[in-house]
Amino acid sequence: MQPAYQIIGLDMWYLDDEEGSALEPNLELEGEPVTKAVNTTWHFVESGSMDRSPPLEDYRLRCEGGELCPKSGYWITPAKSLSRRYFKHGAPCPKTTIWQWDINQSDPKL
């Protein structure tokens, strides 16, 4: 595994300007800086996985019970455990609860 390195003896701090609003970086060196390898844990991240996140509006998508479904996909209700159901766009959502868009739109695993 590729190690990570820590630089010891090099501190970075910020100076306020005269008005106290802007900060300017300033490096302070105490002797010779030493580079030290440190133990790390690396995790594989699939390339491009961050590009496939759902749009922000999907995180807030909801439908009142009895209203027509605004988007085809899997929906859940916090009122009942294991409530995940698939609704087609325009189909009425079951009454008596609020349905929320499930961010995980993958098919159920059997």
Domain annotation covers residue 47: no
Q: What is the DSSP string of 18-56?
A: TTS--EEEEEEEEEEEEEEEE--------TTGGGGPPPH
Q: In terms of residue numbers, what domain contains 24? A: 4-38
Q: What does the pLDDT read at residue 55?
A: 65
- Looking at per-residue pLDDT, the higher value among 11 and 109 belongs to 109
**pLDDT confidence band for 1 (50 / 70 / 90):** low
Q: What percent of the chain has pLDDT over 90?
A: 24
Q: Are strands 62-64 and 23-38 parallel, antiparallel or unpaired?
A: unpaired
Q: Is the pTM of this model over 0.75?
A: no
> Using CA atoms, how far apart are residues 98 and 75, in angstroms rounded to an integer?
10
Domain annotation covers residue 32: yes
How many folded domains does the chain comprise?
2
Comparing 25-29, 39-43, 56-60, which segment has the lowest mean pLDDT?
25-29
If you average pLDDT over every residue of the chain, what do you get?
Answer: 76
Q: Are residues 59 and 88 in the same domain?
A: yes
pLDDT higher than 60, residue 25:
no
**pLDDT confidence band for 29 (50 / 70 / 90):** low
